[in-house]
Amino acid sequence: MAHLSGEAYHALREVLLASAAQPDAPVRRIGEKWLTVARADSWSLLAGFLTQPELDRFREIAIRVLREPDPKFELPPEERYAAAVHGKVLMHSNDLRDGVAETLALLAAFEGIDGAMTGGQWAGWIVRDVLDDADWTLWASLTNQLHAVAEASPVDFMNAVERDLAGESVIAKLFEEERGLFHSSPSVGLLWALEVLAWSPEHLHRATMLLARIDDVTGRKG
């Protein structure tokens, strides 16, 4: 938060505390967690105040946060449910990762700064950098954020999936079944993201073709 705002954290915290104490405050504090109230509405009111430095800092932060591989995938599948016990935890919380991904999706609808790129162009640039040469652990680590990343820049997201499937696919590894009571498949996020895109008539055909291609590459049924 301090890096994004360009202010020292203690100074930013004082501003947020004062703001949170006001009626109908745009931010709320629960314990040590800060939340934005009505994020979409807040964005529509405040996005016009963004300048090039804020967008540059957000791009840097988004890439750093979303490119972080989840260390739980260093463990055998049967031990991943206890990743925290082994000290295999993300440096950035899932709340922060979700917030960055959702902000990326909101950015896509931003008209942009006069004479500079549109929000959609910024979002596409960030999505390309996040997914560039992604290995299977990065795709798996983004399971909970992929739908927002896909919504931020559908074309760039599908380009990344398509490039992977055209070569020695790392995505295919996501579909290796993890069996057991506490196990889940890291492929869920990718399927969810493509399903979200398929709801759009503009992207229905390509998203469906990618799902069919995934089925072919992985040998999955149905």
Res. 50: pLDDT tops 90: no
Is there a domain that residue 163 lies in? yes
Higher pLDDT, 155 or 217: 155
182-204 mean pLDDT: 89
Res. 221: pLDDT tops 50: no
pLDDT at 115: 65
Is there a domain that residue 172 lies in? yes
> Per-residue pLDDT tens for 73-88?
888 888 888 888 998 9
Residue 148 corresponds to which tokens in the numbers above?
A: 């927002």
33-60 mean pLDDT: 84
Give the best-scoring range by mean pLDDT among 46-60, 179-193, 199-213: 199-213
Q: How many CB atoms lie within 10 A of CB 118?
A: 15
Res. 198: pLDDT tops 50: yes
Q: What's the domain count of the chain?
A: 2
Contacts of 139 (CB under 8 A, 6+ apart): 146, 170, 171, 174, 186, 189, 190
pLDDT at 21: 84
Model confidence pTM above 0.85: yes
* Shared-domain flag, residues 122 and 207: yes
For residue 67, what are the domain limits?
50-218
Higher pLDDT, 116 or 27: 27
* Shared-domain flag, residues 197 and 89: yes
Asked whether the beta carbons of 107 and 97 are under 8 A apart, the reply is: no
Is there a domain that residue 154 lies in? yes
* Shared-domain flag, residues 93 and 195: yes
Residue 58's nearest CA partner among 21, 18, 107 is 107
Residue 26, SS3? Answer: coil
